[in-house]
Structure 1
Amino acid sequence: MNCRACVAEFPELNEFVEKHKNRNDIIFLSLALDSKSELDDFLEKTVFKYDVIPNQKEFINKTLNLQIYPTHIIVNKNRSILKVSNKALEMISFLEKENN
């Protein structure tokens, strides 16, 4: 919500979600630092087609050890990390290559 680079990627990410919305093998999920009420207010005014989970600061910092935002993580059905990227376009390109 307070990450300008993250919010700037929303249109591109929304387009990708829309393109793949009928697939049952992809889950679009965003972890947020913000509270549920803050996110609800923000998402009323801003379209973002990912499911957003609030209050994830501890998990993001301590478990994932992320330092740069945005960070996109692609995980397969076996829970293996396939790709970590800081740019939506790079993540989207990777997914499109994987599915061709």
Structure 2
Amino acid sequence: MKKYLLFFVISFYCYLSCHAQTTNTVKKTVAFHPPDQSTLVLDSAGNTLPYENWHNKLITGQYRFTFKVPGDQNAGLILTQLSAEEIAERYANMPEPPQGPYFNNGEPIKPFSIGGINKFKFNTEAWAGKVVVLNFWFINCPPCRQEIPELNKIVASYPNDSDIIFIAICLDNKSDVEDFIKTSPFSYHQVVNGKTYADLFGIRQYPTNVVVDKQGIVRYNTTGYGPGWEQWIDKAIKKSLAAEKSK
């Protein structure tokens, strides 16, 4: 999980490096070191930001760094929020996330049966004619928690659509999950004590997201979290729905 999150954090830092080089009137190579807890980071008003504050904002993909003094990282970095247009452009130019190590796109998913909170039951035989969206997570996984609001937006965009089932398989027990979703709603059907199901697929890194089409074929999967990744989940859902309608 950490290596995938780190990949995207580093990609944001590289974005700064490219941005800085293209905005200088004199083109030159500027050495840039990925910021860490020792880096001086300021907001637009010049206030020093704690590491956790600026790091959590940066990994949303809605912020970027600029040099306080052009080309001098030691003088400090300024964290600025992107405009709606810049965010849209960034997301549009993002490559598709790498396929995760636990599933293979284009291949059938292993058969399994599960039961969740609120008497929810499901097995692979029951998804004939349905697109199934899976999320493997656990409560103390920061990127898992961070992506939940974006996953909820996807669910909300398919209100009362009986052709899609959203299932979150959590490693934690029922009482912990119920307590968590009281304050942090998660719109997927919740399956608890999910280690058995994670082990079935060999999952060791989280979050892992999977989209399975109406024939039980994996159409999208990735492990880890990065800003804008939810758009690829939604694209896979739409493609799976459209493929069935075109037949």
TM-based fold match above 0.5: yes
Is contact 2:211–2:236 with CA below 8 Å preserved after alignment? no
Higher relative contact order (CA 8 A, sep 6+): 1
Is contact 1:73–1:84 with CA below 8 Å preserved after alignment? yes
Give deviations 1:39-83, integer Å, cap 9, x for gaps: 11111111111111000112202x111132111111123222222
Structure 1 stretches of 4+ with a deviation exceeding 6 A read none
Give deviations 1:11-58, integer Å, cap 9, x for gaps: 111111011022111001000000001111111111111111000112
Is contact 1:28–1:51 with CA below 8 Å preserved after alignment? yes
For 2:217 and 2:233, the matched residues in 1 are separated by 16
Is contact 1:74–1:84 with CA below 8 Å preserved after alignment? yes
Equivalent in the alignment of 1:75: 212
Is contact 1:74–1:81 with CA below 8 Å preserved after alignment? yes
Of structures 1 and 2, the larger Rg is shown by 2
Report the AA paired with residue 95 of structure 1: I
Report the AA paired with residue 209 of structure 2: H
For 2:178 and 2:241, the matched residues in 1 are separated by 33
Q: Does 1:96 align with 2:238?
A: yes
Compare the two structures and name the one with the higher helix fraction. Answer: 1
Is contact 2:213–2:240 with CA below 8 Å preserved after alignment? no
Is contact 1:72–1:88 with CA below 8 Å preserved after alignment? no
1:19 to 151, 157, 179: 157
Please tell me the root mean square deviation across aligned C-alpha atoms, in Å: 1.6
Which consecutive unaligned segments of at least 5 residues does structure 1 have? Answer: none
For 2:232 and 2:213, the matched residues in 1 are separated by 17
Identity of aligned residues (%): 30
